Chain A
């Protein structure tokens, strides 16, 4: 295992669904390194979620490889993969009511261990995700922000060095969005490999170390936020007039889409 291969590496990944006219992901290449917060951004349909699904073996990876700490993920048994990479999928609703503590305990599914070890891992994960107070509730009683924290707690309970989250701030208000990104930043600072799929470009610009911009299944740009948050590039990728300025209060690049009545994205 070489140092360069640590973390999660997507090498020329191609995803093509059966009967689809063209590939959803076309040769995507990037790395999410340990200790860093990497963000995968791009318009709807640009291939972000397909990339995550390919990681889970739930989308057909027809070419390329995805490696976790140097090992091909496709070659790992499902349980072994779950011990290496924890994924919080975009959408999820339990079919039946389940208590939060039980839900988080399912994060230990891939581990054979004593009940005591499971209990310790669950309590630690609940505390780290600021969800300890929710432990005895049923999942269906949670608000949007609470639900996302509980899902992050379950991912942490998996004990994997790599955590991938697909739009963890969907449907959240400003305060809850900030709380989620602060948590992700802290997890990266703990030394974990953190990959987040997000539509919140302005938050990504403030929190991420590395940004990968997808467009029609390909990487349109990648690098530090300041490099990727480039007006002409974003305008082309999102097909919408916009300006990127530097926020006077926090100093981060900030995207401001312009008003164009009647216009539709291409």
Chain B
């Protein structure tokens, strides 16, 4: 990828974040908002911009960066252009873990992602196992079918679990299944970053392993990769990222699908370029999707996951045609 394209990707994220911080349902004049960012100005503007919008924008950016990184890693390790945490049911598994933790009263802010991680690992094991039973792990359709089925099961489990939890104890089923960055707080931004950083850093450091895995099992083994162990570690890292994003913002689908394709279309060749490019594009996409979610129908908020799905579904259909043609 050329330096100009890296600059454009980075600039797009910065512009999206600035716009999303300055624009909202409550009209705060740009001057006041800028003053609030600088720690001056009216207390109301400061509260809206610094305590509501800024953490929300940062949370959305982190969620997008994580999902983009995880999507492109899973696509490489599974050699499947349709792979991503949501379609593989991994995010659904994370939601089940999170909801169960809520139902059991384990609501401490750092514990939720761990429960979601357990659920995500269970789901990824189930999906890859199902596809292997079908004997066609390399067929993109079989894996996605297994993922969609596991995801549907996860949605049902979330609804059943939430039916028995008092509404004041848990966020609603809609929050879990359609995603939202609405109740972002600074501590949430902090722990999301803390969970994402090691997993994303590890995936970027293992860029060459991901490139080798994307060649297929036999070529990867021939080049010296410990194929099965490396694949498991990628699933672990992808699951941890999916779990952290789900615990922070619920199910936000299709970002992990769309963004790696954008990165490749922008000329990112190899995971060393594709991982960071997907993170930048993913962050931009989710920040813009969240801006749309809170402003398009104001004062009503659209679910964030619904906005990303509106972008992702047509994209998925066009990729499905190519992947199976």
Contact = CB atoms under 8 A, between A and B. Distances in A.
A7 B75 CA distance: 38
A99 to B, nearest CB: 5
A109 B225 contact: yes
B214 A86 contact: no
B12 to A, nearest CB: 22
Residue among A57, A88, A92, A95 facing the most chain B CB atoms (10 A cut-off) = A95
Q: Which bucket holds chain B's interface residue count?
A: 20 to 34
A97 B270 CA distance: 8
Interface residues of A, number: 31
Interface string B169-211: 0000000000000000000000000000000000000001101
B215 interface: yes
Nearest to B209: A109
Interface string A88-118: 1100111111110010001101100000000
Interface in B222-236: 222-227
B218 A86 contact: no
B5 interface: no
B76 A95 contact: yes
A109 B209 CA distance: 8
B215 A78 contact: no
A58 B214 contact: no
A95 B264 CA distance: 12
B217 interface: yes
B79 A82 contact: no
A109 B214 contact: no
A266 to B, nearest CB: 27
B272 to A, nearest CB: 9
B269 A92 contact: no
Interface string B71-93: 00001100111000000000000
B222 to A, nearest CB: 4
Interface of A: 53, 56-58, 77-83, 86-89, 92-99, 102, 106-107, 109-110, 138, 154, 158
What 4 A-B pairs are tightest by C-beta distance, nearest first? Answer: A82-B224, A110-B224, A95-B79, A87-B222
24 contacts: A53-B218, A58-B217, A58-B218, A78-B221, A78-B225, A81-B224, A87-B222, A88-B222, A92-B218, A92-B219, A93-B216, A95-B75, A95-B215, A96-B75, A96-B76, A96-B81, A97-B269, A102-B269, A102-B270, A106-B212, A109-B212, A109-B224, A110-B223, A138-B269
Interface of B: 75-76, 79-81, 208-209, 211-212, 214-219, 221-227, 264, 269-270, 274
